Amino acid sequence: MPLPLAGPAVPVVDSHCHLDFPDFDGERDDLIARARAAGVGRMVTICTKLAEEPQVRAIAEAHDGVFYAAGVHPMSVADQPAVTVADLVALAAHPKFVGIGETGLDYHYTADSAEAQRRSLRVHIGAARQTDLPLIIHARDADDDMARILTEEHRAAPYRCVMHCFSSGAGLAQAALDLGFYLSMSGIATFPRSTELREIFAAAPVDRILVETDAPYLAPPPHRGRRNEPAFVTRTAATGAELFGMSYADFAAQTSANFDRLFSKAAA
């Protein structure tokens, strides 16, 4: 696969990363500089435990083009204080706070807290509705419950949403798209064995696709097995461009426009 052109002529957005994680201690400024040099114009860094929100907020405040979102990750629901709609709405007053989550369901590692996860998910949906900020969904081994809850809640009152790091089945992808939601492509889509996942993305409307790293996780080749970082989102975007039969520049522009439509507070 040809390497994308680097630099600001073809800016792309890393719509989901974790810049506060200790993997990046001592080099965040350099990390963000490398991303900018690679052509990553903006990043959204995600807080997964509300106790850590001040640190995540500080990173966004310190860097132009870095925004943040916060919620309680489903794998942390059992050992974190229960979040309320009011908690999340209060955080959303910050000018760089652009999304609710990540939230969702993870039955792979934490099925024992499934009921608490479902309650937490509905709280986050309520906050997304009240703030009109996009909901950021993590889904693993919970496709049926995820599709059911997202659909029930959307029928009750609409909200906006992205299926972050989408790697679930075609059924959940279609359910999300039917609700007007977005699918985010991570490094998983670049892995050689991810043929079925690439087919799911290729069948989706290109105006509903975002790209992300989920850094420090899921580095695409040739960095697979090592720490991921926002600069590497260009590798995922190159795969996306190939899937949709577009030039890298056109795909980067399309996914950036998609990001602006969904994360409209970041665009403003």
Annotated binding site for a divalent metal cation: 16, 18, 102, 138, 164, 214
Predicted pLDDT at 28: 96
- The residues with which 182 forms a beta bridge, in sequence order, are 162
Contact 212, 15 (CB under 8 A): yes
Can you give the pLDDT at residue 22?
94
Q: Which of 201, 216, 119 is nearest to 166 (CA)?
A: 201
pLDDT of residue 205: 98
CATH hierarchy code of domain 12-267: 3.20.20.140
What is the structure's pLDDT at 49? 96
pLDDT of 254 reads 98
99 within 8 A of 60, measured Cβ to Cβ: no
Q: Sign (positive/negative) of CA torsion 204, 205, 208, 210?
A: positive
Helical H segments across the chain, by residue range: 28-38, 53-62, 85-91, 114-131, 143-156, 170-178, 195-202, 233-243, 248-262, 264-267
CB atoms within 10 A of CB 198: 18
Per-residue pLDDT of the chain (268 residues; tens, 9 = 90+): 344 444 446 799 999 999 999 999 999 999 999 999 999 999 999 999 999 999 999 999 999 999 999 999 999 999 999 999 999 999 999 999 999 999 999 999 999 999 999 999 999 999 999 999 999 999 999 999 999 999 999 999 999 999 999 999 999 999 999 999 999 999 999 999 999 999 999 999 999 999 999 999 999 999 998 999 999 999 999 999 999 999 999 999 999 999 999 999 999 7
Q: Tell me, what DSSP letter sits at residue 212? A: -
Annotated binding residues, as ranges? 16, 18, 102, 138, 164, 214
Phi and psi at 83, nearest 5°, equal -90, 150
Q: Can you spell out the DSSP letters for 10-24?
A: S-EEEEEE-TTSGGG
The pLDDT of residue 268:
76
Residue 174: predicted pLDDT: 98
